[in-house]
Amino acid sequence: MTSYEFLEGRIAMRKVLTAVLFLYVLSVATASFAQPKKVFLTNGNKRPENSIFAPGISVGKTVYVAGKGDYKPDEDMEGKVRNCLNEVRKVLKRADLDYENIVKCWCYLEDPTLYPEFNRVYSEFFKGDPPARTTLGVPEVPGDSEIEITVIATSDKSKKRIGDPIDGFPFSHGIQADGTLYISGKGDQLPGGGHPETFEEQVRQAMKNVGVVLEEAGLSYENVVFSSVYVDNYDNQGIVNKVYSEFFEYGNEPARSTVFVDWIPGGSHVEITCIAATDLSKREVVRPKSMSYGPTGAAMTASPAVWNGDTLYTSGIAGEVAWEGITTVDLTAQATQMSENVIDVLGAAGLDLSNIVSGCVYLRNINDYAAFNEVYRPYFSQGPGVRTCLMPNSGYEKNDVRCRSSFIAARTK
């Protein structure tokens, strides 16, 4: 080989390497450009400083609104519902959205006997295609409020309803928008009315009712990225896990939050609500090395977190120590460990606390609210995301968990 041929080869190789490097940089830049922007729905869209949560967050076409109370201790249910939803609307308006843009509502009532009245007033705000909805009876929401509502909304104009609403119940079975299907809470009602006789069959029926909505949207259980499982009896959690696991591939389950509540609508003892990815190729499980898997592990019926495109859903996370479980009943220690566990899960997905866009916090005792926030603040003010916080049941859990949370995070610019 002559010196000229050698030089010519080096030049050619350099061109190849330059082209490869250019394509890599271009791919990174393109991916970064394609990621949505996180916008705070505040005055001037400024990031709330040292705040435990933001009133609203916009990420791409999706808007998350923090839990809104009624803030009207002397009002009747009609006044409370109207004020609560008006508070939601104030945040939506900052993103140029309104009630018709809402895709999913979570509604928490301290007095379930007022459920019919709640529905009557709520229905006035949603005409046409109402959002998917989950409604539950809980003993305490923060402050003097007696109801709390949190929502997810979208600017996606291709948003569509899945299934026809049932007369007298102002919510859709599912709403599909921007690559995501939001499913209403599904109890154990049989198609012809009534409920299965055994709790095992009730859980199975609730999952089948979820499956009906998935199928109508052209999806399957495989598409589910996040499930909230609500149960009104702590002793039934083993049955829930057994039946629930029948519907998902071992090791590829959705993220999941199990919440014990005081009341579930319609005479059900279990209710399941899901979020699903419409494009299965964008669904990916995240599992930190510190979290074992299997019958003796920390994630027997749930994946720690699951991606849907640029959106990450985490399972319910408590203040458990890896391999040891709950080691102390001290609230500060549990809240600190819970926060560190969230960091662990997010880190496995290449994210950190600043990527959180929404969270739901469940406290064993609402009287822990202020003390919990003191621990929560230095961690989660790094986002912050929106937040809903409440006491889900009247204290019948037979464990030492004092705080638990689940989050939605996003890859953003």
pLDDT digits (tens, 9 = 90+) for 41-55: 999 999 998 899 999
Strand order across the 102-109 sheet: 38-40, 56-59, 62-69, 147-154, 102-109, 132-137
Locate tokens 């809470």: which residue? 185
Task: Say whether both 109 and 185 belong to one domain.
Answer: no
Q: Are the CB atoms for 67 and 87 separated by under 8 Å?
A: no
User: Looking at this protein, which amino acid is placed at residue 357?
Assistant: V
> For 26, which DSSP code?
H
Rounded to 5 degrees, φ, ψ at 362 are: -115, 125
Residue 172 lies in a domain: no
Residue ending a domain, among 243, 258, 278, is: 278
Task: Say whether both 131 and 221 belong to one domain.
Answer: no
Residue 108 lies in a domain: yes
Task: Say whether both 148 and 209 belong to one domain.
Answer: no
Residue 81 lies in a domain: yes
Q: What is the pLDDT of residue 133?
A: 98
Q: Are the CB atoms for 406 and 314 separated by under 8 Å?
A: yes
Q: Using CA atoms, how far apart are residues 152 and 105, in angstroms rounded to an integer? A: 7
Closest C-alpha to 387, from 376, 378, 397, 395: 376
Q: Give the total number of structural domains in the chain.
A: 2
Task: Say whether both 239 and 266 belong to one domain.
Answer: yes
User: Looking at this protein, which amino acid is placed at residue 193?
Assistant: G
Range of the domain at 203: 180-278
Task: Say whether both 161 and 67 belong to one domain.
Answer: yes
Residue 230 lies in a domain: yes
Task: Say whether both 160 and 191 belong to one domain.
Answer: no
Q: What is the pLDDT of residues 277-302, one digit of tens each?
A: 999 999 999 999 877 655 445 446 89
Task: Say whether both 109 and 156 belong to one domain.
Answer: yes
Task: Say whether both 235 and 210 belong to one domain.
Answer: yes
Residue 266 lies in a domain: yes
Residue ending a domain, among 234, 249, 278, is: 278
Q: What is the pLDDT of residue 404?
A: 97
CATH number of 204's domain: 3.30.1330.40
Count of beta carbons in the 10 Å neighbourhood of residue 94: 18
Q: Using CA atoms, how far apart are residues 408 and 358, in angstroms rounded to an integer? A: 5
Q: Identify the three-state secondary structure at position 354.
A: helix
Locate tokens 């702590």: which residue? 234
| Token pair in block for residue 7 | 């030089």
Q: What is the pLDDT of residue 292?
A: 62
**pLDDT < 50 regions, the chain:** 1-32, 295-296, 298-299
Cβ partners under 8 Å of residue 364, min gap 6: 391, 395, 397, 401, 402, 403
What is the longest distance spanned by two Cα atoms in the chain? 94
Task: Say whether both 129 and 184 belong to one domain.
Answer: no
Task: Say whether both 71 and 122 belong to one domain.
Answer: yes
Q: Are the CB atoms for 255 and 314 separated by under 8 Å?
A: yes
